[in-house]
Amino acid sequence: MADAHASDGRVRPLVIEPGHSFESVTGSISEIVLTQKPTKGWFLGLTIGFALLMGLLLAIMNLLVTGIGIWGNNVPVGWAFDIINFVWWIGIGHAGTLISAILLLFRQQWRTSINRFAEAMTLFAVACAALFPLLHTGRPWLSAFWLFPYPNTMGLWPQFRSPLIWDVFAVSTYATVSAMFWFVGLIPDLATLRDRATSPVQRTIYGALAMGWRGSAMHWQRYETAYLLLAGLSTPLVLSVHTVVSFDFSVSQLPGWHATVFPPYFVAGAIYSGFAMVLTLAIPLRKFYKLTDFITMHHIHNMAKVMLVTGLIVSYGYMNEAFFAWYSGNNFEQFMMKNRMFGPYGWAYWLLISINAGVVQLFWFRKVRDNIGLLFVLSIVVNIGMWLERFVIIVTSLHRDFLPSSWAMYYPTRWDFTMYFGTIGLFVSLLFLFIRFLPMISIFEMRTMVPEAKVHDEKLEAL
């Protein structure tokens, strides 16, 4: 069943399948954490993630001992896999805060089933992203010493007019507010787990994390105030963080980067890749944990539609880049665009156009949006395309400098790939631990969706 009838006869999509009560919602979600034993699939996923994570630790150890020469970075391609992956991970982290904050402020009820693990995804993605600029500076215990604004005998201060410094403040603020938003939303559910746990260890841990929550009227009033305030703080951050990331490129004078379209184009791309990752996570979770009653086809359709809209904005950005290069009459911009299309990395450019501007058109068709398996594959393909977009923007704009004598090809080394796949391992490991020890769907918010919670609303509508 995909629809329900409102009291005025209108048909509205379901955000929870019928037949559920307060108790069934609480039991279905909490038992995944409290009573269900980890499946073989869970152990397999965690093992794969942990193995990749060990590769990341090995790569970092080698990097700190040897230096960034183990990467493929060269002159003129000083920014490569490290910044590509930084921007890619930051983009993936955007959907969680958008789903939680902006859709909350717009009173979109369909967010309730997916906001919890989307918020967790945001935190894990930002943690992966933060590794790259920290390690890109070289040996952090030496380089980071000069990055913090404090008085020193050398009289050296960070360049506050640099967008690289703006990045530090934007990303750290985003991570802090997102973590607070996620934890505040968890508090009522932690209290539920505390009250339903049978193990003394579980009761102690969840009780400490619940911070004395009793569900009193005062607690709910303070909770709703704090939650709404954090949602209001998070909303501009969704737009500002990737805008500031785009400034790393657009405020430069480099052909291919110096474009005013970058801020909205980067934000749309971030939401596009972020929702693709939410779909990548939601589809297997709803299947293997039997959550189809809570993550319905209405949620899947809405996420596909958001991807369609943001994908079209990204496609418009691609057209603008080509048009600006032609219309500017600037020889360097035109050469850059021709090199991007037909140079040695032309395969990456046309592949990303095929994926991000071509594949997205499939979301127009309801048959595609109804095909769960196809949507899962397309969500992975979209994130591959968005990674290629960052590769093309960075590498093809750098590898052929203003002087032909400065031209050089960039080839990633095995350590570049090890670090990249290692961060995927970190993300997967954190995600599997999260779904094992914390409720992946908000219990108390789903309880507000059942008919028992709508009794007073229906009486008011009748009046």
The CATH code of the domain that includes 317 is 1.20.1630.10
As a whole number of angstroms, the distance between CA 279 and CA 303 comes to: 7
As a whole number of angstroms, the distance between CA 381 and CA 359 comes to: 9
Please, is 66 exposed, middle or buried when counting C-beta atoms within 10 Å of its C-beta (0-12, 13-18, 19+)? Answer: exposed
pLDDT string in tens for the chain (463-residue length)? 445 544 444 445 677 888 888 888 899 999 999 988 888 999 999 999 999 999 999 999 999 999 889 999 999 999 999 999 999 999 998 878 888 888 888 888 888 888 898 999 999 999 999 999 888 887 777 777 777 777 777 777 888 888 888 888 899 999 999 999 999 999 999 999 999 998 999 999 999 999 999 989 999 999 999 999 998 988 888 888 989 999 999 999 899 999 889 999 999 999 999 999 999 999 999 999 988 889 999 999 999 999 999 999 999 999 999 999 999 999 999 999 999 999 999 999 999 999 999 999 999 999 999 999 999 999 999 999 999 999 999 999 999 988 888 899 999 999 999 999 999 999 999 999 999 999 999 998 888 888 776 655 554 444 4
Structural domain harbouring 360 = 16-148+156-462
For 423, half-sphere exposure in the C-beta direction (CA atoms, 13 angstrom radius) is 25
What token pair was written down for 146?
């000069």
- What's the pTM? 0.92
Which H helix or E strand runs over 265? helix 262-288
Biggest CA pair distance of the chain:
79
CA-to-CA dists, residue 57 to 52, 53, 276, 379, angstroms: 9, 6, 27, 28
Answer yes or no: are the C-beta atoms of 438 and 192 closer than 8 Å: no
Residue 420 resides in a domain: yes
Residue 9 resides in a domain: no
Residue 396 resides in a domain: yes
Who's near 394: CB < 8 A, 6+ residues apart?
A: 77, 79, 80, 83, 84
Who's near 309: CB < 8 A, 6+ residues apart?
A: none
Number of domains the chain contains = 1
Residue 7 resides in a domain: no
What token pair was written down for 278?
């939410």
Residue 56 resides in a domain: yes
Residue 105 resides in a domain: yes
What token pair was written down for 300?
């899947």
Answer yes or no: are the C-beta atoms of 178 and 96 closer than 8 Å: yes
What token pair was written down for 397?
């704009």
As a whole number of angstroms, the distance between CA 72 and CA 68 comes to: 9
As a whole number of angstroms, the distance between CA 348 and CA 344 comes to: 9
Q: What's the DSSP call for residue 39? A: P
